[in-house]
Structure 1
Amino acid sequence: MTVTVRFAPSPTGRIHIGNARTALFNWLFAQKHKGRFIQRFDDTDVARSTQDNADSILYDLHWLGIFQDATEYQSKRIEHYDAAVERLKAAGLLYACYETPEELDLRRKVRRTRGLPPVYGREALALTSEQVAEFQADGRRPHWRFLLPNFISNPLEPQRTEIHWNDLVRGEETVDLASLSDPVLVREDGSYLYTLPSVADDIEMGVTHIIRGDDHVTNTGVQIALFKALGAEAPIFGHHNLLTTASGEGLSKRSGALSIGSLRESGIEPMAIASLAVLIGTSENVAAMPSLAALADRFDPASTSKSAAKFDADELVVLNRALLHHMPFSDARDRLAILGVTGERAEPFWNAVRGNLDRLSDALVWWRIVNEDLEKKPKFSKEDRDFLRGAFDLLPEDPWGEHVWKTWTAAIRKAGDRKGKALFMPLRLALTGLESGPELADLLPLLGRERTLARRP
């Protein structure tokens, strides 16, 4: 058996880090088991789904390093769902209902006042042919519900019916079908809700494992029943915890600042996103992993907590910084070139500044410091200015090598009584205009003697 998983978002907006968590769980699981990853778009909602959104989702996934083995669109598979509907109708497992939303809401309220669960009471099963004809004459069109197998002989007398499965993440799970309403599979206008297309596709595409958010746990009981009704064995399910903001709010496609596209545009590295998305809310320590292959080695669905995982977007910056600090020049070269960081000094420059970057684009600030006049000349006290003028008089002659900083500061110490911060801080301010940054021993050879002298107060 080839392990086959799928990621099936609705292309109604940009995906966020929570969606990426589900995609990564599936893709990493497929990688670990040498399986297949299907990218499937739940685009049956034609009013809200767009090809532009689907293309953006694919771009975001590819940027993260997730590549699909197949791409499917549910809007192109309607005939398969029509065939499944006919099979269910023929088996007496799909029945027409004519209630309006207002009528259904009233019935739920009545059931609550009677101390009963607010589930659908299957009143449509008791309709006479005359009543159906009257509804149709009034212009009502039916929606269609799947008859859950939660009764012995009379569907109007449901009994506790447990569906069990061994969840990849949560362990043993149970859902009582008697506690659920028969799900609507087909709307009044003939369009399909999520459940039927999803199950029909999973059967035909040979999906062996379904890994998704734990907001679908209750749905699983219904879907297992639907798999069986369509003559198929249900896949193995796994439900991971959801990501929330630090304040506990859920994520949605409206969370623009947390969309993969926005995070990319803000300079966050793909492996910072992947590392946080996968490892947070698990028994693993959250650390910046260098590659998806390394992340796959750490990935274990069973290590995921059952409680929601709160994360702070600032954690992404911490992971981003760690990745940049260890990024080899070969990985940064092309992106640096786009910023204008080129030439024989590009590699030593990168090695000098990478330890001080939050985002790769921050390198441009230091490239300008090294190659251009300082935007603002720092101001010094008379005492520091006198010290600096004397220090600059001691600059070694060309040629400058890697030990020029050590040679220069040794001469400064010998000529005066300054040491430690009192010596180094004025020099740093004079050379860079900033109070912190890369090692001056690495920057000085990049500046060169002429540009260094030009910064003498």
Structure 2
Amino acid sequence: MTTTRFAPSPTGYIHVGNLRTALMNYLIARKAGGTFILRIDDTDPERSKEEYVDAIKQDMEWLGLHWDRVERQSDRLDRYAEAADKLREMGRFYEAFETPTELDLKRKKQLNMGKPPVYDRAALNLSDAEKEALRAERGSGVWRFKLDHERIEWNDGILGDISIDAASVSDPVLIRGDGQVLYTIASVVDDTEMGVTDVVRGSDHVTNTATQIQIIKALGGTCPRFAHHSLLTGPQGEALSKRLGTLALRDLREQGVQPMALLSLMARLGSSDPVELRSEMAELIEGFDVNRFGAAPTKFDVQDLFPLTAKHLQSLPLADVADAVSDAGVPADLAEPFWAMARENITTLADLKGWWELCRDGAEPLIADEDRDFIAEAMALLPEGSFDGETWGKWTSTVKEATGRKGKGLFMPLRKALTGMERGPEMATLLPLLQVIRAKS
């Protein structure tokens, strides 16, 4: 069975970069009728916060990315300890004591000599007595996985054939000096024991994947299929890393972005397929193919979400937005005609309030000096009684006959006088709503 996972760290709110990873893994699992695991990477007790765990779940529920089960890495520390012991017994795990400053000096020296800046494995030459002395002086060391210096190869679902020389990579630290288990080994143990078959993540993890393949094999596991998606940039190709904090999903939700607008964009962004607004998750699932994504950095412009949001809202019946219409102050008996008028003229649901205020209170007339007599004559010709969908057409025909005005010279001054705006809803739709509300006040 196909099994995928999304493994966020609860150290902050998830953003559009995280969403890309979550969505791809979700769509793969759902398309195959498999399992999607939400795995909370909370092995860092100082930075992990329960409020962020709750926020991650809230954001995913808002988007409709429903998981089959939740796992927490903090509940699995014993499993990681067993894996570490197994690696020690195999001679693939060793303790190292260099300080960050010492490691930095080593890297600089290697670079000056034209060599790759990888860890030199000096710790492997320490005697037991030297290790004891270093522990007494510095405390426990870090634990590094000893890589086999050979080529690590796999066929990547997005990047194609990958081949990395393990000798060009430092032996990865899997456990810190304070005992904290790091992502590299925790993820391997979890993926193996949870039967994860497909892993999609950012291209910044390619080197991690190479080392994890060796760890998986050392522990007797089966390697999942890996795919590494491109990283997002800003609309001009600029790095997004410093802005991702302002692109948290909850901030986009606060700005009125609709879930299907966001999902429709992220399910196609960076692929060879055009972005198309979808109305439901099933369409995204059916049309998803991770192999159609490219390796090049992918431009993301948050402004692209708003036309998609507007288009999505236009497709919704009143039942889907009834709460928002009510929250804008619209009485229940006017909700249907109000939504029919407003839906074509909003970008987000927050815009409903302004249209309701126009209908309820009217607007400051926008009348040019040369149009004042014309507007006065036109208003005098406004029919009495209730208005309907034909009132605007009948009224403007009468005004045209009386004044000789036609086209833009007829319709624009009337629109500006009634709404205070040059653009907006069809006046045939808006006029009855304005009259009904004024009659009720």
Amino acid paired to 1:258: L
Say if 2:4 and 2:35, in contact at 8 Å, map to a contact too: yes
What is aligned with 1:425?
A: 412
> How big is the shift at 1:178?
1.5
SS of 1:305's partner is coil
Q: Which moved more, 1:323-332 or 1:202-211?
A: 323-332
Amino acid paired to 1:206: G
The whole-number CA distance in structure 1 between the counterparts of 2:376 and 2:126 is 99
The whole-number CA distance in structure 1 between the counterparts of 2:311 and 2:360 is 26
SS of 1:281's partner is coil
Amino acid paired to 2:426: E
Superposition pairs of residues 119-134 of structure 1, within 5 angstroms: 119-134=118-133
What is aligned with 1:222?
A: 211
What is aligned with 2:403?
A: 416
- Judging changes above 3 Å, is the alpha-carbon distance between structure 1 residues 210 and 121 closer, same or farther for their aligned structure 2 residues? same
1:392-435 Cα distance to aligned partner (Å, 9 max, x none): 22222324322111111111111121111111111111211111
Residue 273 of structure 2, aligned match among 256, 264, 284? 284
What is aligned with 2:30?
A: 31
What is aligned with 2:433?
A: 446
1:14-53 Cα distance to aligned partner (Å, 9 max, x none): 1111111111111111111111111111111111110001
The whole-number CA distance in structure 1 between the counterparts of 2:437 and 2:294 is 59
What is aligned with 1:103?
A: 102
- Judging changes above 3 Å, is the alpha-carbon distance between structure 1 residues 449 and 180 closer, same or farther for their aligned structure 2 residues? closer
What is aligned with 1:40?
A: 39
> How big is the shift at 1:255?
3.1
Residue 357 of structure 1, aligned match among 346, 351, 358? 346
Whether 1:268 and 2:257 are equivalent positions in the alignment is yes
1:108-159 Cα distance to aligned partner (Å, 9 max, x none): 1222222211111111111122322322332442211101122xxxxxxxxx
> How big is the shift at 1:263?
0.8
Amino acid paired to 1:67: H
Aligned-CA RMSD value? 1.8
Say if 2:16 and 2:244, in contact at 8 Å, map to a contact too: no
What is aligned with 2:226?
A: 237
Say if 2:365 and 2:419, in contact at 8 Å, map to a contact too: no
Whether 1:74 and 2:66 are equivalent positions in the alignment is no
Amino acid paired to 1:278: A
Amino acid paired to 2:27: L
What is aligned with 1:404?
A: 391
Say if 2:360 and 2:437, in contact at 8 Å, map to a contact too: no
Say if 2:9 and 2:40, in contact at 8 Å, map to a contact too: yes
Unmatched segments (≥5 aa) in structure 1 = 151-160
The whole-number CA distance in structure 2 between the counterparts of 1:252 and 1:58 is 23
Q: Which moved more, 1:104-113 or 1:62-71?
A: 104-113
The whole-number CA distance in structure 2 between the counterparts of 1:132 and 1:190 is 17
Q: Which moved more, 1:323-332 or 1:73-82?
A: 323-332
Residue 366 of structure 2, aligned match among 371, 378, 382? 378
> How big is the shift at 1:173?
1.7
> How big is the shift at 1:257?
2.6
Say if 2:415 and 2:427, in contact at 8 Å, map to a contact too: yes
The whole-number CA distance in structure 2 between the counterparts of 1:45 and 1:328 is 46
Say if 1:10 and 1:43, in contact at 8 Å, map to a contact too: yes
Amino acid paired to 2:53: A
The whole-number CA distance in structure 1 between the counterparts of 2:250 and 2:131 is 50
The whole-number CA distance in structure 2 between the counterparts of 1:311 and 1:211 is 19
SS of 1:349's partner is helix
The whole-number CA distance in structure 1 between the counterparts of 2:365 and 2:392 is 22
Q: Which moved more, 1:438-447 or 1:247-256?
A: 247-256
Q: Which moved more, 1:213-222 or 1:297-306?
A: 297-306
TM-score in terms of structure 1 length: 0.92
Calculate percent identity across the aligned residue pairs.
46
What is aligned with 1:157?
A: none
> How big is the shift at 1:254?
6.2
> How big is the shift at 1:450?
8.2
> How big is the shift at 1:172?
1.7
- Judging changes above 3 Å, is the alpha-carbon distance between structure 1 residues 449 and 196 closer, same or farther for their aligned structure 2 residues? closer
> How big is the shift at 1:208?
0.9
Whether 1:145 and 2:144 are equivalent positions in the alignment is yes
Say if 1:165 and 1:172, in contact at 8 Å, map to a contact too: yes
- Judging changes above 3 Å, is the alpha-carbon distance between structure 1 residues 286 and 427 closer, same or farther for their aligned structure 2 residues? same
> How big is the shift at 1:379?
4.0
What is aligned with 1:156?
A: none
The whole-number CA distance in structure 2 between the counterparts of 1:106 and 1:284 is 47
The whole-number CA distance in structure 2 between the counterparts of 1:267 and 1:433 is 25
- How many residues of Structure 1 are paired with residues of Structure 2 in the alignment? 440
Amino acid paired to 2:119: Y
Amino acid paired to 2:56: I
Amino acid paired to 2:331: T
The whole-number CA distance in structure 1 between the counterparts of 2:328 and 2:372 is 34
The whole-number CA distance in structure 2 between the counterparts of 1:197 and 1:422 is 71
The whole-number CA distance in structure 2 between the counterparts of 1:450 and 1:258 is 40
> How big is the shift at 1:200?
0.6
